[in-house]
Amino acid sequence: MHTSTALLTDHYELTMVDAALGAGTAHRRSVFELFARRLSGARRYGVVAGTGRLLEAIERFRFGDAELEYLREQRIVTDRTIDWLADFRFSGDIWGYPEGEAFFPGSPILVVESSFAEGVLLETLALSILNADSAISTAASRMVFAAQGKPLAEMGSRRTGEHSAVAAARAAYIAGFSATSNLEAGRTYGIPTMGTAAHSFTLLHDSEREAFAAQVAALGTGTTLLVDTYDIDQGVRTAIEVAGTGLGAVRIDSGDLPVVVGRVRRLLDELGATQTRITVTNDLDEHTVAALAASPVDSFGVGTSVVTGSGTPTMSMVYKLVAHENGAGEWVSVAKKSADKASVGGRKSVRRRLNSRGTAEAEMLFLGDGPAGEAEGVEFEARSREVLVPLVEAGSVRPEHLGSAGIAAARERHRACISELPAVAMSLTRGDPAIPTEYR
């Protein structure tokens, strides 16, 4: 966990630094913003995730001997730049939407103020972490709402990269999932882990009854037995015969789930196992979870859909220079004018406007001195709240955003922020963002 993150970046980040050092512009104070021009997948809101991971990665963004030797051997930058990189430590300030917070088109999810060289080096790292984690957290948030209070477990490790699986479990947990199947996520982030047996365990034994007996002997009657390896109805009967009516749960991983779940619940009740729970898996997404939420399902296990962002594996975030000091030391706002890729220049602060019932009405972006400057939008203070918070101050990461405490805070923050969004935000149909973004 202490390896350098300095080469988790694109080639051109370093060549820009190289050229700027040669031109004498590398040390100009600059402001970069990370934002999404639109919500990918026509989501109604996005969820920020990955901030804590990014801050830890920034702390390890150091060019050691191995990294410098690689750059020297490949002749990627000049010796002058290698000397500069050898002493690199991010020394600027970063503000951002705290983890678990909702965001909308144009929301400055991350605001980096530093020299140009320091800020531009973080572009790829920030985008790679926040794009992926936020896509997963956004999908997970929709699933949590669709489940109507029933617990969901993340179990998608086999459907993504081995390191991505750990990050995915973290992002889903922030959005309200209750557990993960991934043990490294449990060790690293303190997320509750779960799991019992797969079909291979049943197939290993001479009969389903022997497999169930072996599992109960090892894990106790509170375990969850997988009942659909052969015939589901017979599997349920065998499970109760082996474990008794105190069996913890049965898992169903196939079939027409709404029909099968109802049949299994009736059968369990007939057998006297009225407290035995039903958990379902089988390629669930937010739509199938919603369809099953009113059924006798007690919990859900979601794999492929959550770790791939339910068809939206990135939030299409970008990282753009919005202001810098000119040669005279004066701040200048800058922005792209490209068709369909325009950005809004200038330093910004953010307030979310609420109505009298505490429901969000708009995301207000104030052009002015930025998050550390004079308070813009003071006339809205009585019915709005600030969104940006300090993440890094003079190169030092704020500790409240790190570790298990940071994850716990993000999880609670997400629960609170979702409750203030208008009802349309929870629609699973494609549509416009739940609240508009206003520039002031």
* Full DSSP string of 193-247: B-----HHHHHHSSSHHHHHHHHHHHH-TTSEEE--SS-HHHHHHHHHHHH-TT-
Dihedral of the alpha carbons of 359, 362, 365, 371, in degrees to the nearest 10? 10
The CATH number of whichever domain residue 236 belongs to comes to 3.20.20.70
Q: Are residues 297 and 339 in the same domain?
A: no
CA distance 337 to 164: 35
Q: Are residues 239 and 208 in the same domain?
A: yes
Query: Contact 42/310 with Cβ under 8 angstroms?
Result: no
pLDDT at residue number 347: 87
Mean pLDDT of the chain: 95
What's the average model confidence in pLDDT over 277-297? 96
Query: Contact 172/346 with Cβ under 8 angstroms?
Result: no
The reply to whether 64 falls in a domain is yes
pLDDT at residue number 311: 94
pLDDT at residue number 372: 65
What's the average model confidence in pLDDT over 57-84? 97
Q: Are residues 88 and 232 in the same domain?
A: no
The reply to whether 440 falls in a domain is no
pLDDT higher than 80, residue 383: yes
Query: Contact 180/193 with Cβ under 8 angstroms?
Result: yes
Domain boundary among 253, 280, 307: 307
The reply to whether 4 falls in a domain is no
Q: pLDDT category, 170, cuts 50, 70, 90?
A: very high
The reply to whether 318 falls in a domain is no
> Which amino acid, one-letter code, is at 335?
A
pLDDT at residue number 369: 77
pLDDT at residue number 377: 65
Q: Which residue has tokens 């669930």?
A: 284
Q: Are residues 162 and 269 in the same domain?
A: yes
Q: Are residues 170 and 240 in the same domain?
A: yes
The reply to whether 316 falls in a domain is no
What's the average model confidence in pLDDT over 209-217? 98
Q: Are residues 430 and 300 in the same domain?
A: no
% of the chain residues with pLDDT over 90: 90
Q: Are residues 258 and 397 in the same domain?
A: no
The CATH number of whichever domain residue 45 belongs to comes to 3.20.140.10
pLDDT at residue number 346: 87
Q: Are residues 382 and 407 in the same domain?
A: yes
379 contact partners, CB below 8 Å, separation of at least 6: none
pLDDT higher than 60, residue 47: yes
217 contact partners, CB below 8 Å, separation of at least 6: none
* Residues spanned by the domain of 429: 11-18+28-136+323-435
Structure tokens belonging to residue 232? 């589901």
> Which amino acid, one-letter code, is at 138?
T
How many residues in total does the chain contain? Answer: 440
Q: What are phi and psi of 67, to 5 degrees?
A: -70, -40
pLDDT at residue number 375: 63
CA distance 130 to 133: 5
The reply to whether 126 falls in a domain is yes
The reply to whether 216 falls in a domain is yes
What's the average model confidence in pLDDT over 163-189? 98
The reply to whether 429 falls in a domain is yes
Q: Which residue has tokens 């088109």?
A: 105
pLDDT at residue number 340: 63
Q: Are residues 64 and 131 in the same domain?
A: yes
Instruction: Return the H-helix or E-strand segment holding 23.
Output: helix 11-23
Structure tokens belonging to residue 223? 């375990």
Domain boundary among 307, 341, 364: 307
Q: Are residues 265 and 150 in the same domain?
A: yes
Partners of 278 in the β-ladder:
250
pLDDT top residue among 343 and 330: 330
% of the chain residues with pLDDT over 70: 97
Q: Are residues 153 and 63 in the same domain?
A: no
pLDDT at residue number 1: 46
pLDDT higher than 90, residue 343: no
pLDDT higher than 60, residue 282: yes
pLDDT higher than 60, residue 429: yes
Structure tokens belonging to residue 244? 């008794």
What's the average model confidence in pLDDT over 385-412? 97
Q: Are residues 346 and 227 in the same domain?
A: no
Q: Structurally, how many domains does the chain consist of?
A: 2
**Alpha carbon distances (Å) from 58 to 86, 89, 278:** 15, 9, 43
Q: pLDDT category, 345, cuts 50, 70, 90?
A: confident
Q: In what order do the strands lie in the sheet with 384-386?
A: 384-386, 348-354, 360-367, 437-439
Report which of 31, 98, 124, 36 is spatially closest to residue 391, judged by C-alpha positions: 98
Query: Contact 182/154 with Cβ under 8 angstroms?
Result: yes
Domain boundary among 307, 337, 366: 307
What's the average model confidence in pLDDT over 200-209? 98
